[in-house]
Structure 1
């Protein structure tokens, strides 16, 4: 992947990062894009919020609480 990403490409990498470790070049390109973009850090925070909420929900349901 090129070092210059579009927001669409960056979003795809942010989502992919939830499932797997990204290659070094993709991680670097994503880091550079998020640092320079106004919108993509918002998407990143939203994904992190969803990940944390799902983790809490899994822990809650695993503890047997209904």
Structure 2
């Protein structure tokens, strides 16, 4: 199973590239059992969406 450090690294990388099937599976398993990383994943997704919206608004 992934450590929290590995999970948060993958969550960050997921914003820039598609994860390999093995990475995605391991990440999903970790997120099912780790509430903190699950919450971090939601936060990073929201920040990414807000950033894209701001770019579109500004540009």
Normalising by structure 2, report the TM-score: 0.95
Query: Which has the higher Rg, Structure 1 or Structure 2?
Result: 1
Structure that is richer in helix per residue: 2
Tell me how far apart the structure 2 counterparts of residues 13 and 32 of structure 1 sit (CA, whole Å): 13
Query: Pick from 30, 45, 49: which aligns with 1:48?
Result: 45
Structure 1 residue ranges without an equivalent (≥5): none
Structure 2 residue ranges without an equivalent (≥5): none
Give per-residue Cα distances to partners, 1:17-43, cap 9 Å, x unaligned. Answer: 000001110000000000111100110
Large movers: runs of 4+ above 4 Å: none
CA RMSD, Structure 1 to Structure 2 (Å): 0.6
Size of the aligned set, in residue pairs, is: 59
CA shift at 1:49, angstroms?
1.0
